[in-house]
Amino acid sequence: MGLSASGAPAGGKVDEPAPHHNPAMFGLALAALGIVYGDIGTSPLYTLKTVFDPANGLPLEPLNVIGIVSLIFWSLTIVVSLKYVTLILRANNHGEGGIMALLALAASSVVNKPRLRHVLLGIGVMGAALFYGDGVITPAISVLSAVEGLEVATPLLKPYVIPITLIALTALFVMQKHGTSGIGAVFGPVMVVWFIVLAVAGAINIADAPRILEALDPLAGLAFCLRHRWLAFVALGAVVLSLTGAEALYADMGHFGARPIRLTWFGIVFPALALNYLGQGALLLSDPSALDNPFYRLFPQWMLYPMVGLSTVATVIASQAVISGTYSMTKQAMQLGFLPRMNVVYTSAKEIGQIYVPGINWTLLIAVVAAVLAFGSSTALGSAYGIAVTGTMLITTVLTFFVIRYAWHLNWGLCVFATAFFFVIDAMFFSANLLKLEQGGWFPLAIGLVMFTIMATWGRGWEMMLAEARVRAGTTPLGPFLASLLSRPPVRVDGTAIFMNADPHGVPHSLLNNLVHNRVLHKNVVFLTVSSSEVPWIPASERVTVQSLGQGCFQVTVHYGFKDEVDLPAALEACASSGLTFDRTEISWFLSRATVVPTPGKGMALWRERLFAVMLHNVGNVAAYLKLPADRVIELGARVEI
């Protein structure tokens, strides 16, 4: 894999906002409500409908309804409230969360165990790959389930459900290039209205059938499992739909901090979800015919069209959160060396986290449209949804064990017990969803497999290229080469030449090619290496290190975390504190553009080497990624055998 070992500290406490009485805390909580909880907050649209889908074979009987609602309630309690909100939010990488941050934290904690580290990298990359499957299915199932409310209002609108869904989704992805700062301001208030409506509608229906409150007893869920056994196991594959979006709590921790996320979960989200699921269960007890769409049947006829509108807005917000998360994870994966460089557009001058990745955006849109057309309903998509969600949850639990054991050095027995408890639960959910491979579970797995192949191949190929550079550096180390070159120097011309160098100890190919073709050396020569670390942010004071090599030559290393914005011209301004200043109009940037020659019998299978060569050939504009001025860049070719 391509993750560098920086030896960075394993992470510390979250730099959280002030205590809850601080007004800023409520502002953060409102923002978190709009961004973090859209996915899990819209799960009531389709969860119970999918559980009692006739294809699953579970009869709609009072005891079954109570048992299923009990399983949903206690799954939310144990998996979300206990695992994620209470415990996992503590596993931060310098305040950042999410699968890539957790992977970097786990890998750095076992840096002295290379084999174990390599295995963890593979597991973490698979978790990240499954997240892309989640990024495809979440917009599809969320928006489609909202628009399906039109069928409840009048069957005459059924033919228009798919076209309206596709129009809404296309508009959502087209709008991404404009950023989310404008609409982001209304996300929080809209979701406040959404959760209040969920809670009120649920409470009203509970009053009509209070027997559903028996579901609050965990023994009701246990009795259901013991009574049905196999059917109960199958039902877990749909129950897990109530947990979709749990990973977002962790992934968005860096934006808001743990306290606002906990405050909104226990203050409004969990109570509203619990009341709504109980309300849907009560409705099914009193009116089994409501199974065609128990969520929309909670509301009177006159409210259906407003609820379709509110649900569509809420699901667009849920989709936006996942899409933005996919952009962020893509950027982190590029920084950590798991994906080739792609064009990243920063859509906000104030918020560095608001980015847009065109290549990912249009690929997601194509996949989302294909999912809607292929599956045709939210119930069918529910079969595909669970595997991506439960797979990522399971991998998060595995990585967390290595963090609390090797980074936090907690007691071995405590680590095993704590993670084994959640591992068993996650494994049961994942296993139940494996039963749905033929019904659609293959779809997110196929996406995950494609992304895993791309990420693993790029990471391994990049690692092999760096190894090849080190081998060449062993025959031509930079120090002796410069000493020999400067003892009888070529013609030295005005200006500054900056040679990008993957290995600070070796001679960059661009320098050798420049000497061969131009036979000159600039008065100021900088060998610049970009170092990516397993921490999200590098302090500005530690961004740049400078070493003088004599006679106008310098070795400069620029350090970035996996969430930092790469901007080399801006970073070089920090060299002034070391006595090295630059005139941007006199700088020439020399880059090496490698042409990979796949060689049988070397590091990877030949097809993977060819895939890496194709990706490297079509990699995004390196100069644009590094923020280099296009009119000051000179690219020189090099052939590398791997």
Query: Is residue 245 classed as helix, strand or coil in its secondary structure?
Result: coil
Which residue in this structure is represented by tokens 């200006």? 495
- Residue percentage of the chain with pLDDT more than 70: 90
Q: What residue type is assigned to position 223 of the chain?
A: A
CA distance from start to end of the chain: 15
* Alpha-carbon distance values, 272 to 139, 149, 203 (Å): 22, 20, 9
Tokens representing residue 74 in the block: 């206690």
Q: Which segment of 224-233, 266-275, 494-503 scores lowest on mean pLDDT? A: 494-503
Question: Which pLDDT band holds residue 15 (cuts at 50, 70, 90)?
Answer: very low
Question: Which pLDDT band holds residue 104 (cuts at 50, 70, 90)?
Answer: confident
554 burial (CB, 10 Å; 0-12 / 13-18 / 19+) is: buried
Residue 505 has what pLDDT?
Answer: 80
Full DSSP string of 492-519: EEEEEEEEE-SSTTB--HHHHHHHHHT-
* Alpha-carbon distance values, 26 to 52, 110, 240 (Å): 38, 38, 30
Q: Residue 554 forms beta bridges with which residues?
A: 526, 548
Provide the sign of the torsion angle of the four alpha carbons 484, 490, 492, 498, taken in this order. negative
Helical pair 606-617 and 442-475, crossing angle rounded to 10 deg = 80
- Residue percentage of the chain with pLDDT more than 90: 30
pTM of the model: 0.79
Residue 471 has what pLDDT?
Answer: 63
Contact 396, 88 (CB under 8 A): yes
Q: Is the backbone of residue 595 left (phi > 0), alpha (psi -120 to 50) or beta?
A: beta
Question: Pairing between strand 553-560 and 520-532?
Answer: parallel
Sheet of strand 520-532: strand arrangement: 544-550, 553-560, 520-532, 491-500, 587-597, 633-641
Question: Which pLDDT band holds residue 62 (cuts at 50, 70, 90)?
Answer: very high
Q: Among candidates 283, 317, 286, which has minimal Cα distance to 298?
A: 283
Q: Which segment of 233-247, 337-351, 532-546 scores lowest on mean pLDDT? A: 337-351
Tokens representing residue 444 in the block: 């997110």
Residue 274 has what pLDDT?
Answer: 97
Segment 45-73 mean pLDDT = 91
Q: Among candidates 313, 350, 342, 373, which has minimal Cα distance to 136?
A: 373
pLDDT value at 178 more than 90 = no
Segment 310-330 mean pLDDT = 84
Domain ranges of the chain: 24-460, 477-641
Segment 574-595 mean pLDDT = 83
Q: Which segment of 200-214, 244-258, 442-456 scores lowest on mean pLDDT? A: 244-258
The kind and range of the H/E element at 396 are helix 378-402
pLDDT value at 8 more than 60 = no
Residue 323 has what pLDDT?
Answer: 85
Residue 107 has what pLDDT?
Answer: 87
Contact 265, 81 (CB under 8 A): yes
Per-residue pLDDT reduced to its tens digit, 368-407: 999 999 998 888 888 788 888 899 899 999 999 998 888 8
pLDDT value at 1 more than 60 = no
* Alpha-carbon distance values, 134 to 138, 231, 499, 551, 590 (Å): 6, 26, 41, 55, 40
Per-residue pLDDT reduced to its tens digit, 21-57: 455 677 778 877 877 888 889 899 889 988 998 888 8
Rounded-to-integer distance, Cα 545 and Cα 552, Å: 16
Name the most confidently modeled range: 428-437, 457-466, 563-572.
428-437
Contact 588, 562 (CB under 8 A): no
Residue 207 has what pLDDT?
Answer: 93
Q: How many other β-carbons are positioned within 10 Å of the β-carbon of residue 229?
A: 10
Question: Which pLDDT band holds residue 536 (cuts at 50, 70, 90)?
Answer: confident
Tokens representing residue 329 in the block: 């994870």
Contact 71, 221 (CB under 8 A): yes
pLDDT value at 610 more than 80 = yes
Residues 6 or more apart from 616 whose CB is under 8 A from it? Answer: 340, 461, 594, 596
Q: What residue type is assigned to position 59 of the chain?
A: P
Question: Which pLDDT band holds residue 13 (cuts at 50, 70, 90)?
Answer: very low
Residue 37 has what pLDDT?
Answer: 87
**24-460 fold:** Amino acid/polyamine transporter I (1.20.1740)
Residue 333 has what pLDDT?
Answer: 86
Question: Which pLDDT band holds residue 602 (cuts at 50, 70, 90)?
Answer: low
Tokens representing residue 373 in the block: 């057309």
Helical pair 230-239 and 412-434, crossing angle rounded to 10 deg = 100
Which residue in this structure is represented by tokens 């979960």? 265
Q: How many other β-carbons are positioned within 10 Å of the β-carbon of residue 343?
A: 13
Residue 328 has what pLDDT?
Answer: 80
Question: Which pLDDT band holds residue 216 (cuts at 50, 70, 90)?
Answer: very high
Question: Which pLDDT band holds residue 7 (cuts at 50, 70, 90)?
Answer: very low
Residue 619 has what pLDDT?
Answer: 72
Rounded-to-integer distance, Cα 176 and Cα 324, Å: 9
pLDDT value at 2 more than 50 = no
Q: What share of the chain is helix, strand, coil (3-state, %, to 5)?
A: 70, 10, 20
What is the torsion angle, in degrees rounded to the nearest 10, for the CA atoms of residue 116, residue 121, residue 122 and residue 123?
Answer: 90
Residue 638 has what pLDDT?
Answer: 64
Residue 474 has what pLDDT?
Answer: 52
Segment 459-465 mean pLDDT = 84
Rounded-to-integer distance, Cα 585 and Cα 531, Å: 25
Residue 70 has what pLDDT?
Answer: 97
Rounded-to-integer distance, Cα 596 and Cα 576, Å: 37
Segment 155-181 mean pLDDT = 85
The residue with greater pLDDT, 567 or 344, is 567
- Mean pLDDT of the residues in the chain: 84
Question: Which pLDDT band holds residue 19 (cuts at 50, 70, 90)?
Answer: very low
pLDDT value at 434 more than 70 = yes
pLDDT value at 110 more than 90 = no
Provide the sign of the torsion angle of the four alpha carbons 375, 379, 384, 388, taken in this order. positive
Contact 102, 254 (CB under 8 A): no
Segment 588-615 mean pLDDT = 81
